Amino acid sequence: MNNRSFNFRFVWAIFMLIISFGMAYLLYFTEIFNFRQELRIIFGICFLLYGISRAYRIWRIGK
């Protein structure tokens, strides 16, 4: 039972990692969101940094 919950957490973490990198890409490189360009770049960088921190956490746990 414990192994199954670990797998769900791992899959959820990977899913959230993809979402955060996807949001960073959409904010930084497209004009889908109707914000000023400065705000899109700031939020894109925030999502990118959050995604990098999540990726590091996943990598550290997976070692």
Report how far residue 28's alpha carbon sits from residue 8's, in angstroms, rounded to the nearest whole number: 30
Q: What pTM value is reported for the model?
A: 0.79
The number of folded domains in the chain is 1
Range of the domain at 37: 2-62
What's the distance, Cα to Cα, between the start and end of the chain in Å?
A: 21
CA distances from 59 to 23, 27, 33, 51, 52 (A): 21, 25, 31, 12, 10
pLDDT reported for residue 2: 56
Q: What is the per-residue pLDDT for 6?
A: 63
Q: In the prediction, which pLDDT does 18 show?
A: 96
In one-letter notation, the amino acid at residue 46 is C
pLDDT of residue 61: 78
pLDDT in tens, the chain (63 residues): 455 556 888 888 899 999 999 999 999 999 898 889 999 999 999 999 999 999 998 888 776
